[in-house]
Amino acid sequence: MWCQNRGPQGPGQTSGKPNPTPLAQEGILWLVAAIPAMLLALAMWFISRYELTDEVIDRINREIEKRHKS
């Protein structure tokens, strides 16, 4: 925040660099690393349980073509 007569710091700040608390740093770590990794693992588990054989792919393609023709 740039204020006239104060410089780049906001009210009460002594330097332009933020100083996050350890709890905030841990929260950021969870948001950008741990939670996405857990969601990726969950998605991989769901995908591994989905059986997609050649017959199923052919059936899906036939249904799509049938809908497209109608």
Paired strand residues for 3: 7
Write the pLDDT tens digit of every residue in 9-68: 555 556 667 888 999 999 999 999 999 999 999 999 999 998 889 999 999 999 999 999
pTM of the model: 0.53
Q: Report the pLDDT value the prediction gives residue 38, as an integer from 0 to 100.
A: 97
pLDDT of residue 18: 80
CB 65: neighbour CB atoms within 10 A? 10
Q: Which long-range contacts (CB under 8 A, 24 or more apart) does 36-42 make?
A: none
pLDDT of residue 11: 59
Please give the Cα distance from 50 to 60 (Å, whole number).
14
Q: What pLDDT score was predicted for residue 4?
A: 53
